[in-house]
């Protein structure tokens, strides 16, 4: 896999582990009976699909979402259906990878335009005059 390719959940599906549990989300009586919460676990350190460079980026940028063993954990319990929650965690994984692997556009340093400089100086002069008017006459 080339290093500038953003990995997708469909590429990683063989290395993703799903677990389900009871959700505290919406569903009324259904919540007490059905395991609709889905937890996605992806072992970044042992991944065969990610390159070493990609692993470093994931470990550095997603350290707050990872266990001490280097396993990325994402959960979803918003939906009442286990299948919908599974789709949600896969979408979250895709969104996170797109965010961390998309290079940031460098900022171009710019100078203020002539009109902006003129406006700033005029406003300073007006403030100065206003303060002059507030002074007591000698």
pLDDT in tens, 68-121: 888 889 988 888 788 888 899 999 999 998 998 888 899 999 999 999 999 999
Q: 30 pLDDT band (50/70/90 cuts)?
A: low
Q: 131 pLDDT band (50/70/90 cuts)?
A: very high
Neighbours of 11 (CB within 10 A): 14
75 has which bridge partners? 39
Q: Which two tokens stand for residue 138?
A: 């000698």
| Phi, psi for residue 78 in degrees, rounded to 5 | -70, -35
Mean pLDDT, to the nearest integer, of 3-14?
A: 76
Single pTM value for the model? 0.65
pLDDT at 1 over 50: no
Structural element, H or E, at residue 37: strand 37-43
Distances (CA, A) of 22 to 25, 36, 90, 95, 124: 9, 6, 19, 25, 63
């Amino acid at each position: 896999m080339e290093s500038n390719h953003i990995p997708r959940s469909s590429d990683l599906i063989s290395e993703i582990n799903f677990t389900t549990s009871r959700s505290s989300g919406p569903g009324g009586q259904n919540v007490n009976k059905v395991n609709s919460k889905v937890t996605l676990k992806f072992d970044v350190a042992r991944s065969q699909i990610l390159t070493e460079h990609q692993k470093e980026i994931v470990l550095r940028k997603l350290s707050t979402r990872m266990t001490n063993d280097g396993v990325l954990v994402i959960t979803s319990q918003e939906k009442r259906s286990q299948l919908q929650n599974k789709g949600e965690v896969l979408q979250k994984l895709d969104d996170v990878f797109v965010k961390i692997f998309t290079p940031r556009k460098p900022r171009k340093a710019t100078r203020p335009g002539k009109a902006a400089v003129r406006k700033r100086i005029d406003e300073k002069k007006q403030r100065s005059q206003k303060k002059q008017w507030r002074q007591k006459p000698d």
